[in-house]
Structure 1
């Protein structure tokens, strides 16, 4: 029989008093926008058009809608519990330590790779005037010894900026974000004014609107950097414990950043399609459009696709600005993710299913141990291990999979803590629609990413569970109950995604990926739809009872919220 006893609202379980509340409305929004507009905006339009042709415009719209659903689910949670590192902490409240470690591990390892990837983007563009930074080996750029040292130094700069605290970081980031926003608007305006060939969008001479059908449109969402670009919305959750007005700022950031950047990216995609030289399309179709730019100058090609088009159109000055932005945009995003990675491991330390030292905060309100760990692990990505760059492909799956816990916790909390104050609350019917669509969007993006990347993701998850066992076996610190029974749905969810991905036909362009190709686009979408419903049903059945949730929240408050600052 359901418990009908009235329960008071649970107090905030340690409201991150040691973290400074220095993010205002603009500061938090710009952190998300700056995170979304990284190195991807310089290449996303080209890569999306190669997979979907002009229908890439639809790909950006689909991606934005999916992440608005995900953002809406976190908007309610983020105002209920405005805690830094929320993606890793919310599953802990509803499902216990095993579930929160699983999702936290995926979130952390994916985030830890972003800052070094942005560093490599900076170094690669800088190599045009500093050729001693990289060599070409087997057709791929590889860091030289000096290049590795410079990369480590740049990672050090990212970490150092974060060490100065939120307020100093916010001021620098706001300036850089204004630059990035103006650059995108400028590129759109210049391209549309100098070349706008409407025939590129639908004429049979250029392949029509959707030359690669629906499969290309949806594949672009996962594989062309579209989903990866929108990941930056997460800053509204990860930094929720450091904003002065969570009720207003968290929902505004989570949804507003996706809408703003979605409009810009769609406009950029339209401008790119209209401005691409016609001969580059007719040579071999959209799938090879990037290889067929002809500008009369080999140097322009090194700037990247947008700068190459600017050079072809005669706007050499714009190409120069884009060349500079190829350093500024990745640099700003790398700086943001260095701090975000630290907040995730900080959250795992707060959950006590990772070393407690990760939750130590200095006098500037910075989780300094977690920040140092982010630096050390980030530098490992610069090592020239064979095939190391191929591991980067799992970031999309790992990150979006960790987001999938948000809508599940959202629905579980409606049953577990119905009286809890919700400053931002979805309607009783809307919450089910948003929760289902958010999780289905998550599952679809993982499926579209392809088996060639997903098998690495699930292998990495096995490694994470091995580390959890080792931590529980050898760590001397007190750790919470695993609540393994409450996390059984995670095994079903992951196993279902692995099976669907293995049976599916993504990636379509790689015959050696190892997947069977039994499920086409429609069957794969139907399979993920069924898995979404099954996962939600199992999760709600196994969710912790109300008294256990209250116990976890109270324990978190007494363990960290009221204690002295840890230095």
Structure 2
């Protein structure tokens, strides 16, 4: 590399830079506060008891570390669908596709999940949307499809309208949880609940860790949405780091306060025999149940309204996010180029319509909120896991790039955040992890098929230098190793590996993969070409 400072990466005029700091902050915060706040406290308490507050604190630390990583990447390489494009800059096409594929899997599933959550709550006011198992009925499927069409329409009308719509929604989404915390703390808080039902940690550390993939991490995920909109940020170098870090900080504080308020407001009699049913067997909607028991009808009404607004607002954002990720796959040559077509309003309209179609299809195999949460969490964390690897590699091979935000202690935080991401994948359990493994294999099959098709039609080399197949030497061992530990571990596995030794095994394997991957990054010259190609490609983005 030259000793002179490399130019900042900029994008062209295909996507319009109209999104300011507050909109970026609200986009990330709006993604964080969705159906997770309505259900996360209950699932965490059932898994960990009073120690569920430790689950939120641990998840908060992990997500903040990952947000710091994304803040530097987003400010240094501000491109649309960033999580799908960052790894390619350091490791080539195979790594870029893998990150983009798992990112797209989770993003395209979030909008349907949020719609399902909204209708599940609304069913208490207007029965008929879900059955006794929580699955969508025929009328529920119809309304869900209409909501997906509304989300898509708002996205197609332009990112400025999306940002303004989200700004209004997020203000409401913040106000109701904060109001709930204040009311429950002042009306019904009992500190003794935190040691009821078997003590502060009735299920030990295992319960604290197991709570993370059951809704805790799912609730906090979404902070990276501002980075996904990097190609449309007005001042990405300055605004992206502040938006990412600010959204995570606010989200962690709100969720931790909600868990404290929820546990403190429970009826002590319900905890006498343990935490299996802290609000009553079959009850759906923890805060609504508590408000009803306290005679707070006005709060119940607000919670029912928010139970629709919060998930709907998050679903709206994720239609945009999944479109940016498939757009990035199209621009990178990993998927048909038609996915990268931009409308006159500056919107990736083909990708937006694809997100709609896939979202509608997903209602069939996954008709309830619960059926997808753990799978989406694991896919999200794999996507997050690529970020610290990419940051460490680009720090080494692209050191002269201007970094408006430079993450402190990167030599410690990057490997630590990679370990944390892999621990969450492990805690998700074998049943979830093997299904995600199958989804990743399907992605690779599609990638090879499209690559072969493009090679035959366009004459491009099937095994071109852009592939960087050597990346498979760490990607396959990384994911395969975690699957093996998961199959033999304590979380829905064969329990061959003892408790705590399993966590050490995940950490040790993570460090091996981390340093192997960084060492196998592309050369400085290759990275410089990839970065230049991103800038040139963005400048040539077509409209229509």
Q: Tell whether the structures are fold-level matches, with TM greater than 0.5.
A: yes
Matched residue SS, 2:225: helix
- CA displacement, residues 496-527 of structure 1 (integer Å, 9 cap, x when unaligned): 111111111103xxxxxxx2112234112111
What is the CA-CA distance between 1:248 and the residue it aligns to? 2.2
1:340 aligns with 2:321: yes
- How far apart, CA to CA, are the structure 2 residues paired with 1:125 and 1:116? 14
1:142 aligns with 2:146: no
User: Which residue number in structure 2 is paired with residue 483 of structure 1?
Assistant: 468
- How far apart, CA to CA, are the structure 1 residues paired with 2:248 and 2:261? 20
- How far apart, CA to CA, are the structure 1 residues paired with 2:512 and 2:19? 39
Answer with 516-525 or 330-339: which moved more: 516-525
1:561 aligns with 2:542: no
Q: Which residue of the other structure, out of 99, 108, 111, is the alignment partner of 2:107? A: 111
RMSD of Structure 2 on Structure 1 (CA): 1.9
8 Å CA contact 2:12–2:540 kept in 1: the answer is: no
What is the CA-CA distance between 1:385 and the residue it aligns to? 7.2
- How far apart, CA to CA, are the structure 2 residues paired with 1:260 and 1:521? 33
What is the CA-CA distance between 1:387 and the residue it aligns to? 10
User: Which residue number in structure 2 is paired with residue 256 of structure 1?
Assistant: 246
1:327 aligns with 2:318: no
User: Which residue number in structure 1 is paired with residue 222 of structure 2?
Assistant: 232
1:533 aligns with 2:502: no
User: Which residue number in structure 2 is paired with residue 378 of structure 1?
Assistant: 359
1:459 aligns with 2:438: yes
Matched residue SS, 2:346: coil
- How far apart, CA to CA, are the structure 1 residues paired with 2:365 and 2:82? 33
- CA displacement, residues 128-164 of structure 1 (integer Å, 9 cap, x when unaligned): 344343334xxx2333333222211110001111111
- How far apart, CA to CA, are the structure 2 residues paired with 1:385 and 1:563? 39
User: Which residue number in structure 1 is paired with residue 415 of structure 2?
Assistant: 436
Q: Which residue of the other structure, out of 55, 60, 79, is the alignment partner of 1:59? A: 55
- CA displacement, residues 60-95 of structure 1 (integer Å, 9 cap, x when unaligned): 111010011111111111111111111000011111
8 Å CA contact 1:227–1:396 kept in 2: the answer is: yes
- CA displacement, residues 455-505 of structure 1 (integer Å, 9 cap, x when unaligned): 101111111111111101113355863111134211111111111111111
Matched residue SS, 1:181: helix
- How far apart, CA to CA, are the structure 1 residues paired with 2:324 and 2:479? 25
Residues 51 and 274 of structure 1: CA distance in aligned 2, closer, same or farther (over 3 Å): same
- How far apart, CA to CA, are the structure 2 residues paired with 1:557 and 1:82? 10
1:522 aligns with 2:500: yes
What is the CA-CA distance between 1:179 and the residue it aligns to? 0.7
Matched residue SS, 1:206: coil
User: Which residue number in structure 2 is paired with residue 296 of structure 1?
Assistant: none
Matched residue SS, 2:221: helix
8 Å CA contact 2:474–2:516 kept in 1: the answer is: yes
Residues matched between the structures, number: 538
Unmatched 5+ stretches in structure 1: 294-300, 508-514
Residues 263 and 386 of structure 1: CA distance in aligned 2, closer, same or farther (over 3 Å): closer
User: Which residue number in structure 2 is paired with residue 216 of structure 1?
Assistant: 207
**What is the TM-score with the length of structure 1 in the denominator?**
0.91
- How far apart, CA to CA, are the structure 2 residues paired with 1:524 and 1:554? 43
User: Which residue number in structure 2 is paired with residue 84 of structure 1?
Assistant: 80
- How far apart, CA to CA, are the structure 1 residues paired with 2:306 and 2:217? 21
Answer with 447-456 or 535-544: which moved more: 535-544
- How far apart, CA to CA, are the structure 2 residues paired with 1:148 and 1:448? 32
Unmatched 5+ stretches in structure 2: none
- How far apart, CA to CA, are the structure 2 residues paired with 1:436 and 1:384? 36
